[in-house]
Structure 1
Amino acid sequence: MKKILLISSISVLALTGILFGCKKVEKGFISDYMYYSPNPLIATQGNVTNSNALELDGTTGPVKVKLLAIRNADTGQPAPEMTKEFTIKQFLGQITSADSTVALVNKKIVLKPALPLEISEIGGRISLSQATAFVSTGNYVIDVEVSNIKGTRQILNACRIQLLPKTYFALDAGPFVTTSDPDAETGFSDRVNLPVTVTYDNKGPNKIRFLFLDKNGVAFDPSAGQVITRGDRGNFSQMNPYFPVVRTTTALEWEFIDLPNGFPIKDGNNGTGNYYRIPARFTVENRNANPVFFGFKALSAGSYTVTIQIPGITKKP
């Protein structure tokens, strides 16, 4: 009898093992806690801005992401203009050193339709285009759907987008000036903060002017050699090979091309650095003045005046 019970117990265990062994193994994982970073995503009208890919929180890849809705975050109302096509300037291809004339550059610029906002299907990256110039500033929020081998999740209020008013120029922080010995690359002083201001006229011709002032607001005269470049250091002419510099009695001037992502798009010998010099013979202090600033960019058609006022230096009468 005991032998029969033992055989029965073994049979039950074997059957149980077979049943559990046949249970379907589920594939993949999809998180309930996927998110965007940064959030909010801050952009300016008319400029290209991209988010990082959606943070998957361990979700099995690949994932597909679809935009479900975009709303005005303050009113809760739909914002259909963010997914409406507008015509904007776009590049057909990369601008290279072979594109050495205005005509060659213009051949790579076309008018094409674009959406202000798109979501990349793979990875979910948020892309804001130059077409945001045609929609209202403010706060927006998106809902997205994420799917993978495991299933589908809807992420409501997935990312807040703050669209700021259009900016017409860019200028990096930290302009500085040094002084140095006359007619030499010696005796440099410590760096001092350099005040730089930019004024913009949207009705003017496409022109950029660099105006150099002494501490009293008196302009140095580039046409008389009072503003020069510094050897092989970077300067704006290196970034703008399409138009020659014009030296007037008050400024250095260049024409420029109105490009989709702003001008210039070429770097100089020091990246976006502008290195200039006021020779010592034109200063009361008998010191070279060496103003330096980075990252100036014209983001729209029109006229720009970049005013550089050099502290501690007085122009000779």
Structure 2
Amino acid sequence: MKKIFIISSLSVLALMGILFGCKKVSKGFISDYMYYTPNPLIATQGNVVNSKAIELDGTTGPVTVKLLAVRNMDTGQPAPDMLKEFTIKQFLGQITSADSTVALVNKKIVLKPALPLEVSEIGGRISLSQATANVATGNYVIDVRVSNVKGTRDILNACRIQLLPKAHFALDAGPFFTTSDPDTETGFSGQSPLPVTITYDNKGPNKIRFVFLDKNGATFDPSAGQVVTRGDRGNFSQMNPYFPVVRTNTALEWEFIDLPNGFPIKDGNNGTGNYYRIPARFTVENRNANPVFFGFKALSAGSYTVTIQIPAITKKP
């Protein structure tokens, strides 16, 4: 009897193993907690900004993502302008060193329709284009649908988008200056903060002016050699090969091209660095003044005055 019972028990276990072994295995996994980073996604009108792909939280890839809705977060109402086509300037191809004239650059710029907001079907990356210049500033929010082999999830309020007023220019943080011995590259002081201010006139011609002041507000005269470049260090003329520098008695001046992503698009010998010098013979202190600033960019058509005031230096009368 005991042998029969053991054999019967083993048979039942084997049968259960067969039944469970035949159960259909579920494919993949889809999370309820997928999300975007950064959130909010911060952009300024008229500038290109892209998010990362949606964070899958273990969801089986690949995924497809569909934009379901865009709303004004403050009113809760739909935001149709985010999904409306506007005509904007776009590049047809990369600007290279071969594009050495204004005419050649302009051949690679075209007016084309574009949506202010798009969500990539593969990966779900959020893209904001220059067409956001036509959309009101404010806070927006999107809903998306994510699908994979497992199924579909609708993610409401998936990402906030904060659209800020258009920035007409950019300048990197941390402008600085040094002083150094006359007529040589020795005796450099430590770096000190350099005040730089930028004014913009949207009604003026496309022109950029660099104005250099001493600590009392007296203007150095570039046409008299009171503002010079520093050997092979970077300067704005290297970034703007399309127009020659004009040295007036108050400023260095350049014309520029109004480009889709701002001007300049070329780097100089030190990237976006502008290295200039006031020679020591023009200062009461008999020291070279060496102002340095990075990342100036004109983002709109119009006139710009970049004023660089050098502390601790006095212009000779």
State TM-score, norm by structure 2: 0.98
Instruction: Give 1:7 deviation, angstroms.
Output: 4.2
Match of 2:21, as an amino acid? G
Q: Distance in 2 between matches of 1:187 and 1:238?
A: 27
Instruction: Give 1:13 deviation, angstroms.
Output: 2.3
Structure 2 equivalent of residue 22 of structure 1: 22
Structure 2 equivalent of residue 273 of structure 1: 273
Instruction: Give 1:5 deviation, angstroms.
Output: 4.4
Residue 41 of structure 1 pairs with residue 41 of structure 2: yes
Residue 296 of structure 1 pairs with residue 296 of structure 2: yes
Q: Distance in 1 between matches of 2:243 and 2:183?
A: 29
Structure 2 equivalent of residue 186 of structure 1: 186
Classify the secondary structure of the residue corresponding to 1:65. strand
C-alpha deviations, 1:88-109, integer Å up to 9, x for none?
A: 0000000000111100100000
Classify the secondary structure of the residue corresponding to 1:132. helix
Classify the secondary structure of the residue corresponding to 2:87. strand
C-alpha deviations, 1:251-270, integer Å up to 9, x for none?
A: 00000000000000000000
Q: Distance in 1 between matches of 2:137 and 2:6?
A: 79
Match of 2:190, as an amino acid? D
Structure 2 equivalent of residue 101 of structure 1: 101
The aligned length equals 317
Structure 2 equivalent of residue 309 of structure 1: 309
Q: Distance in 2 between matches of 1:121 and 1:40?
A: 20
Q: Distance in 2 between matches of 1:305 and 1:258?
A: 16
Classify the secondary structure of the residue corresponding to 2:267. coil
Instruction: Give 1:3 deviation, angstroms.
Output: 5.1
Instruction: Give 1:2 deviation, angstroms.
Output: 5.1
Q: Distance in 2 between matches of 1:30 and 1:212?
A: 60
Match of 1:140, as an amino acid? Y
Residue 222 of structure 1 pairs with residue 232 of structure 2: no
Match of 2:184, as an amino acid? A
Q: Distance in 2 between matches of 1:58 and 1:108?
A: 42
Structure 1 equivalent of residue 256 of structure 2: 256
Instruction: Give 1:6 deviation, angstroms.
Output: 4.3
Match of 2:214, as an amino acid? D
Q: Distance in 2 between matches of 1:3 and 1:299?
A: 90
Instruction: Give 1:48 deviation, angstroms.
Output: 0.3
TM-align CA RMSD: 1.0
Q: Distance in 1 between matches of 2:223 and 2:2?
A: 115
Instruction: Give 1:121 deviation, angstroms.
Output: 0.8
C-alpha deviations, 1:232-285, integer Å up to 9, x for none?
A: 000000000000000001000000000000000000000000000000001111
Structure 1 equivalent of residue 69 of structure 2: 69
Match of 1:96, as an amino acid? T
Structure 2 equivalent of residue 121 of structure 1: 121
- In structure 1, runs of 5+ residues without a counterpart are none
Q: Distance in 2 between matches of 1:4 and 1:276?
A: 100
Classify the secondary structure of the residue corresponding to 2:16. helix
C-alpha deviations, 1:263-309, integer Å up to 9, x for none?
A: 00000000000000000001111100000000000000000000001
Between 9-18 and 58-67, report the one with greater CA deviation. Answer: 9-18
